[in-house]
Structure 1
């Protein structure tokens, strides 16, 4: 039994050493990326089997103060969420739950008449023509979808659906 225990301990130590070497490589890489890209701060987490197995914090939360990044730091991800949304849409397509050709009106009620033929594909490709809420000072991104749709339905379409491309926050 002692023999197996000793073998387990030696194996574990060697694995930890191997893991620590990888951590050093990752840490060195992150520091280089921070330097090259002039990133004020970031949080790194390594997840394995749904558990955080390593975490490290670098730099400052923002350029306005000297608060260091920690486990409670919040970062704005802005349009990165569009990538996540796209992946989610395509996962639903793979499962047969929606299609790029589906009209948005299949999933959202009370859309303006002009929006009825906007397809999922138009939203993802910014070719919907629906009004972009960022162009209107009285529309906040924090309001409920129904309120935003109601408010934007009073505006004209920016162009005919599918005929142009224009980056548009409302699409997402």
Structure 2
């Protein structure tokens, strides 16, 4: 999600010098040869993270959590906070950006499983107050971004309000009002176009079908079943402690801390969730592995079409219902990416959920702002997927 930046804040030189690379690894006991090979692999992966931190416009910090066979390996570079110089930890909070769309998918598909929603339910049936010209759009089309809904985050009025007051408290359930006078951009189902409006509509449909608030549905259908204790959907701009600080990095200027610049109310179900690498690991293993839904609903979720997440994930991307298929040179993982001022995320797992990768950066990287860094990032992510999948 590309949103306007605030005027830069100058940081002292001491803050920049604090960005020395720090690393950490957790691994299981093994025989000598396997341990040696594992150390060599971890060293190579760690060097790639350090290279990302050193890259022009790169993140002050990055953390990757690889989990397989019940064992987590944590690799990191840079720092969580330029002022203190402390390393990033798996229990540090972070803005998960558009990976929150996978959470809205988990809610919607959970309700499909329970018969409260159908993938063929329409905006017209469940949300009759929205524009009549949108009424034929289905839940399936919202989940796989073939709805044609205009993206409210590109609305001049929305951007004007956000630029004047980045901490403005929006009515999250009225965000689609900013594009209510616009027609669909194409016939629903005819093409793919990633839109932040889609998952706002998904959450509103879930509320309409159940009479419960989206935040309550998240707790009952996602957080509790998967044991997510440090995940929430706030309305304000503050982050819970501890958190990894997010930065706007635009050389030659020093990094600007933008962790708490924007209110989460303006992105809500499309990108407002706050979580930790540890919780995101639990989530993607359950979500990608089908722990939350039946096999029949899982098959519907995995009807792949041409389309990439934003930013694009590793390898070749295909879109499903609130999940993406990343086909790499070493195999396939399923997941979601996201970007938000100060943060970039990738969560992915094997289709059985047994192996997973959570990858968090403390700066925003996408094709509009940093195309060269995104290419480098995708290469590194693919190398991490290979490390995850290879025996």
Q: TM-score w.r.t. structure 1 length?
A: 0.58
Distance 1:166 1:139, change over 3 A: farther
The separation in 2 between residues aligned to 1:21 and 1:102, in whole angstroms, is 52
* Number of the residue aligned with 2:95: 76
Q: Is the counterpart of residue 54 in structure 1 residue 77 in structure 2? A: no
Residue deviations 1:59-107, cap 9 Å, x none? 222456544312321222323444x47987xx99xx9x965x752456x
Q: CA RMSD in A?
A: 4.2
Distance 1:41 1:152, change over 3 A: closer
The separation in 1 between residues aligned to 2:58 and 2:32, in whole angstroms, is 36
* Number of the residue aligned with 2:183: 160
Is the Cα–Cα contact under 8 Å of residues 103 and 119 in structure 1 kept in the other structure? Answer: yes
Matches within 5 A, 1:79-118: 79-82=98-101, 84=102, 103-104=122-123, 109-112=126-129, 114=131, 115-118=134-137
SS at match of 1:29: helix
Tell me: higher relative CO, structure 1 or 2? Use CA pairs within 8 A at least 6 residues apart: 2
| Structure with more helix by fraction | 1
The separation in 2 between residues aligned to 1:54 and 1:87, in whole angstroms, is 28
Residues matched between the structures, number: 145
The separation in 1 between residues aligned to 2:124 and 2:81, in whole angstroms, is 41
SS at match of 2:97: coil
Distance 1:105 1:47, change over 3 A: farther
SS at match of 2:170: coil
Is the Cα–Cα contact under 8 Å of residues 122 and 162 in structure 1 kept in the other structure? Answer: no
Alpha-carbon offset, residue 31 of structure 1: 1.1
Distance 1:130 1:29, change over 3 A: closer
| Structure with more strand by fraction | 2
Distance 1:77 1:126, change over 3 A: farther
Q: Is the counterpart of residue 26 in structure 1 residue 49 in structure 2? A: no
Q: Which runs of 5+ in 2 are unaligned?
A: 1-29, 162-167, 200-391
The separation in 2 between residues aligned to 1:39 and 1:117, in whole angstroms, is 42
Q: Which runs of 5+ in 1 are unaligned?
A: 1-10, 142-147
